[in-house]
Amino acid sequence: MAGQRRNNDWGFPRWRSYGASREAQAVRLCDRHGCDQPGNCPAPKSPNSPERWYFCQDHAAEYNRGWDYFQGLDEEERNRRMHDEQRDASGYKTSAHHQWAGPGDGTRSRDEMRALDVLGLESDADFEAVKKAYRGLAKELHPDVRPGDAASAERFQAVQVAYDVLRTAEERRTWKPA
165 with 115, same domain: the answer is yes
Total domains present in the chain: 2
What was the pLDDT predicted at 135? 94
CATH number at residue 124: 1.10.287.110
**Residue of 55 and 8 predicted with greater confidence:** 55
pLDDT greater than 80 at residue 24: no
Question: Among 14, 43, 48, which Cα is nearest to 28's?
Answer: 43
Residue 27 φ then ψ, to 5°: -120, 125
Domain span at residue 110 reads 101-173
pLDDT in tens, 137-161: 999 999 888 888 889 999 999 999 9
106 with 64, same domain: the answer is no
pLDDT band at residue 20 using 50, 70 and 90 as cut-offs:
low
Q: What pTM was estimated for this model as a whole?
A: 0.43
> Is the peptide bond prior to 47 cis by the omega test (within 30 degrees of 0)?
no
CA dihedral 144, 145, 146, 152 (to 10 degrees): -90
What was the pLDDT predicted at 18? 64
Residue 87 φ then ψ, to 5°: -65, -40
pLDDT band at residue 88 using 50, 70 and 90 as cut-offs:
low
Q: Is residue 94 part of a domain?
A: no
168 with 113, same domain: the answer is yes
